[in-house]
Amino acid sequence: MQEMIRRHAQPGRLEAILLRTARRAEMSTVASVSTGPRGLEGDHGSSEKRAVTLIQAEHLAVIGSMLGTGPVAASVLRRNLVVSGLNLAALRGRRLRIGGAELEMTGICAPCSRMEEAFGPGGYSAVRGLGGMCARVLTPGRLTVGDSVAPLQDSGH
């Protein structure tokens, strides 16, 4: 099964970069950012395994459909990077190159109870299974909207 997933790991694209300066602060969108060992510079940090959070752009419309609305804003989901064109769930444990940085996907980024605050009743359920992935920074570098998101071939379990 893992080999089948690895064979079809096409590149994607970095669609948006979002930062928060403090816990519960509003997310702001930037065009470019540098990464450090604990995540994106200027972002309210997290643990090493959750240094950066990613979500698929394609899932924003699916979550909105589950809520009975149009596509939801990525900023409401509080993920750092919005990517398109590749299946993040298939990349757990894999390494990615985004711009000048190398990340390792460490696990799912499950929704929290704040999704009920953000979207109302059913918010948590709408995001469940679609909340994206967490990653650690292996090689710091610069990320810019439009960068390729490329799974690395020498990674995986």
Q: What is the pLDDT of residue 114?
A: 84
Residue 157 confidence (pLDDT) above 50: no
Give the model confidence (pLDDT) of 74-91 as tens digits.
999 999 999 999 999 888
Report yes or no on 146 lying in a domain: no
Domain that holds residue 51: 2-140
Residue type, 153: Q
Fill in the DSSP letter of residue 26.
Answer: P
Report yes or no on 153 lying in a domain: no
Report yes or no on 145 lying in a domain: no
Nearest to 54 by CA among 85, 25, 24, 26: 85
- The CATH number given to whatever domain includes residue 84 is 2.40.33.20
Instruction: Indicate the pLDDT class of residue 2, thresholds 50, 70 and 90.
Output: low
Overall average pLDDT of the 45-73 stretch: 89
Report yes or no on 148 lying in a domain: no
Report yes or no on 27 lying in a domain: yes
Report yes or no on 150 lying in a domain: no
Q: What is the pLDDT of residue 134?
A: 94
Fill in the DSSP letter of residue 20.
Answer: -
d(CA 110, CA 26): 20
Say how many domains are in the chain. 1
Q: What is the pLDDT of residue 38?
A: 86
**Kind plus residue range of the DSSP H or E element containing 135:** strand 133-139
Nearest 5°: phi and psi at 57? -60, -35
Report yes or no on 91 lying in a domain: yes
Give the model confidence (pLDDT) of 99-151 as tens digits.
999 999 999 988 888 898 889 899 989 999 999 999 999 999 999 999 999 99
Q: Is 74 exposed, middle or buried (0-12, 13-18, 19+ CB in 10 A)?
A: buried
